[in-house]
Amino acid sequence: MSEANDGFVLVKSKKKQNKDKIFKKSYLPDANENFPLDQAEIDELIAKINKLKDQLNSHDQELYSSKMLFHLGNILNNFYSDYSVKSKNKIVILCYGLGSFDDSVTSRFQFALFLIIIDYFKEKIGTEIEIKEIYDPLFNSKDKFVLEKILDYKYSNSNTKCIRKVETNSENLTFVFMPHCPKALYNNFLFSNWTSTRLKSVLIMGNSFRSIQSLNNDEHFAKNYCFLNESLKFLKEQKMESKCDMTNAFYDLSFIMFEPSETVKLAINFYDENFDLTSLLEPVYDLNEEVI
């Protein structure tokens, strides 16, 4: 899509469209198309997301602390400079745990931030991005419509519980957006990518792993969330400047990077790079403790 059309446009007057260029494109159903949803409701949802994105991008301190986005930009820029992203082919993006941004204001804030991050990748990093997977069991028909018809994103209908191997193509890096997910999902993601090469190529935005560990019994955590526990030995976290009077949607969010080293002794050895995920026993959790 051309840069001139790099916005998410409501189906409104031209005067209003200039203000609301936030998503990739507008959506006008064909006259012969069986439009499944109320157009006014879709426009209303888009307007709500646009408003929050405007607020998050605002430099008006009364609306939002612009320091958070400044901090976000520095972290992303430093991370991808360290990993020579400009020589890479693309950034692969995975997104889990948003919730329904139609039903939840908190989810809507997080979704708005997700869109801002994508804008940053396009405009500042200048690298091709691929939205590989977006999933949440709470997505309703309007959420899915916005993702698929408006944004051209592919949402998943399959709950893999974050058990997914990232690509190890030397030209790709993976950004994983997982705000406020259950700790089992973080543990599952690590379980399915427990190699030095894969973890080095990943940047997670989610709850601080160190905060998660501090809130749990040491022995229980080490036994039941062993990959999370072991990752503490070689991860690097940078907490976001997330003080925001409007919402707690960004509470305790951190950027999590992995710097595995041969000198670090692990209770769980890294897999061979060509491991078969289907041959491994998946982690099992107490369903009374975790809802995944």
Predicted pLDDT of residue 33: 52
| Order of all β-strands in the sheet with 172-178 | 128-135, 90-96, 172-178, 202-207, 253-258, 235-239
The identity of residue 215, as a single letter, is L
- The 8-class DSSP code of residue 123 comes to I
Each residue's pLDDT tens digit, 87-139: 556 889 999 999 999 999 999 999 999 998 898 888 877 778 899 999 999 99
Q: How many angstroms separate the first and last alpha carbons of the chain?
A: 36
Nearest to 254 by CA among 221, 213, 209: 209
Instruction: Output the pTM of the full model.
Output: 0.84
Distance of CA 152 to the CA centre of its chain: 16
CATH architecture of 16-271: 3-Layer(aba) Sandwich (3.40)
Domain ranges of the chain: 16-271
Of 213, 196, 210, nearest to 271 by C-alpha is 196
Hey, which of 154-158, 249-253, 274-278 has the most confident mean pLDDT? Answer: 274-278
What are the residues facing 175 on neighbouring strands? 93, 203
CA dihedral for 155, 160, 163, 167, sign (positive or negative): negative
The token duo for 112 is 């708005």
In this predicted structure, the answer to whether residue 62 has a pLDDT above a threshold of 70 is no
Residues 96, 176 contacting (CB under 8 angstroms): yes
